[in-house]
Amino acid sequence: MKLETGAKAPGFSLKSSSGADISLADFSGQKVVVYFYPKADTPGCTKQTCLLNDSLEELKQLDTQVIGISPDNEDKQKKFADKYNIAFPLLCDEAHAVADLYGVWGEKKMYGKSYMGIIRSAFMIDEKGDIVESWYKISPADTVNKVLKALK
């Protein structure tokens, strides 16, 4: 089930690449971009994450935080964050429970084979915890532009 503009963002608490538990409630009163990516340290996910990381100062000037979520475990997330000096939390959703809540866990196809996985998506959540924008099937290269456009 896709989340629409105006819906309350589902709450969550997940282990981060730093080992800390991070919850959406930790960002109460702030705007936050929550994006879901299929797998750490793959070309598209690296591009998306690094572009967001490179735009972090501009996003912070617009009072916006960033959280990345994938089904990778803590070790993979930490290696990914360390390798690219990612300055925002990368969270581990190994059981894809949060991905299910956001409607981003679904059937995918590659080379004629069907499998279940993350549908790359991003959400802009306002200070009250409401979804302002949702972008399902977003491309890695478009994420920052769409977020900045929504903020301005």
d(CA 101, CA 75): 24
Tell me the catalytic residues.
45
d(CA 17, CA 73): 8
Three-class SS state of 148? helix
d(CA 103, CA 119): 9
Identify the H or E element spanning 112.
none
